[in-house]
Structure 1
Amino acid sequence: MLTLLDSAHPTALSPVCLYALHLKPLAGRAATLLSPYTRHRTPFDASAASDTDHIFNAFLQAEQLYTGCSILPYVCISPYASMHEDICSLALDKKVFLIIVPFHKHLAIDGSVSAPIPAIQAVNSAVLRFTPCSVAVLVNHGLATESSAFRAGGIPHAAVYFFGGPDDREALALGLRMAEDSSVGLTVVRFRLPNATMEGTEERLDERMMEDVRIRKSDGSRVVYREEVVKDGEGTVAVIREISVRFSLLLVGRGDGKETELTSGLSIWSEFAELGTIGDLLASTDFGGRVSTLVVQQQRRVAGNGQPESVRMGKAVKNEVDEEDD
């Protein structure tokens, strides 16, 4: 989480405000709690510090290192069944643009995969369903190989797999934000069918955003745009399998769950619906990838100042598309 925070490139001109929420399941008959974190002052007895103290100490130390970053810690103690309500209410109250939640399974140092925790999976699914803003699920595969190792304090090279649609545009917007840091490389990989055409507004929005990346952002070295023409899901898997190990972080949109020609045949193998077809593929250890993945879902129900990043970035583009339709 701290690596992602650093890679969001907080600066004085483009600051980041992070609400760090430590979630704890409610034990016994204790009362539900959602409140700002208050540190217990135990300077002479480190053993008396709680897990929450250790977690927020790391975040608050990071706040001192990053210019343009403010971190506000909160604690939530509630039953799993209603935990998503606390997350969403805090996000709504604070006008949050993006919620990041950890995947309910993780890769251990020895390469083994932890047992899934159904309660946490249910919380994540509920957040994705009821969130007032965009959501990203972090599948943390750690530091598996040297080629995908995180540098101290950030991400050396990220990749966005772009298939089209609002979720993919949101993932791309997040990737472009990371690429504002001159030490972060970004590769945008667009998957296309042979002789693909722009049939509707969504496709034209995708094309305009890709045009912006090609013309204004891509420099051929640190920010790279590439197209992969594939015929079906099998071709998509072949490309992803070949290039994923080159990156330290993969960003992909969750998608609407509908199978397309680019993902044909892949949905029957999907295990976790909350990750979408491609996200589930990247998270699978059977696939052979050990690269951390961020699966992004754009919240389309929000309007006004709460619009997702890619909606704000593409507002002028959509107006142009609407004028063309007229």
Structure 2
Amino acid sequence: MRFLFASTRGAAHIAPLVPFALACKRAGHEVLLAAPHAAWEHVARAGLPFAGFDLPPDELLDPVWARVQASRDPDEQNRIVRGELFGGLYADHAFPGLLALARRMRPDVLLHETEEHATARVGALLGLPVWRVECYLGAAVASAEPFLTLSPASFDPRPNAIRFRVRPRREAVLHDWWAGSRAPLVYLSFGSTAAGNGFYPDLYREAAEALGGLDVRVLMTLGTEVDPTALGPVPANVHVERWVPQSAVMPEAAVMIGHGGSSSTLGAMAAGVPLAALPLYADQPQNAARVAELGAGLALDGADGLAEAVSTLIGDPFYRDHARLVADEIARHTLVDDAPLFLRREAVAA
């Protein structure tokens, strides 16, 4: 069978598709992952064939992102990001390229992450089955249609969710950037797009400085959209990289600091690593609040209090114990290796 996957920009949007695409590839099916041209590196790193399509120009995007940053109302931010950006500008510019690609490839099944909206239009036009792979942890989309997800029911209790999990693996050994120190490792990542949307370098610098006085090792990742030199000097215990595979970091991490994005939050929870969440926009405040409700971490309003929060998460076993409860829940999901057979049966039955 031929499977065409599609994502909007950002590693956090591509990431939920990758396990399903790789499972289809391992099962011997033809697979192609389409995303904005700038995403080729994320897809290539995953070992998947890539096809690019257009993003809206900056002169259209910049004023909308400026409104997101200026708003202090999470509901308004969510409406702008999901409605005007993902559901509007991004989808309108992606549609011509995706339609042309689908006509050339002639896929049997289309799969898209939640915020890639052009795929549904293509499927309706060509009469192809379309599956949504949820890129959010929580119940972000009100729909009775079944969907695929890696999210546990403790975050998304919708009964129409078809849940899978990724088999844990250690792809790489974490490099020692701290001269043999065995201090607790704090992994700091605000996702793949926050840095490029105006939060860099200020938020990153504030977080690094807040952690400089703690007896911890800090690994900060910036993503591929910004210049690391713009961050300036950081404390001696902070090491900065553009990207490091989570599979190398999570087995050693004592705490993760993130923005509450779905992909990074799911990575922390699946590994049983407590999270300090500094939400920025979209679904992140809801994810951060849910992590705190579950006892698996703390939700913060900016970098103020970050050092105290990290010390608490390291020192109090309550948080790691509760993060491990979520990890145990995820471990009971069906392996994603079974997804290709499920999709094939559904396509035949349609």
Q: Where on the TM-score scale, by shorter chain, does this alignment land: which range?
A: under 0.3
- Give the alignment's TM-score, normalised by structure 1: 0.25
- Give the alignment's TM-score, normalised by structure 2: 0.24
Q: Which has the higher contact order (CA 8 A, sep 6+)?
A: 1
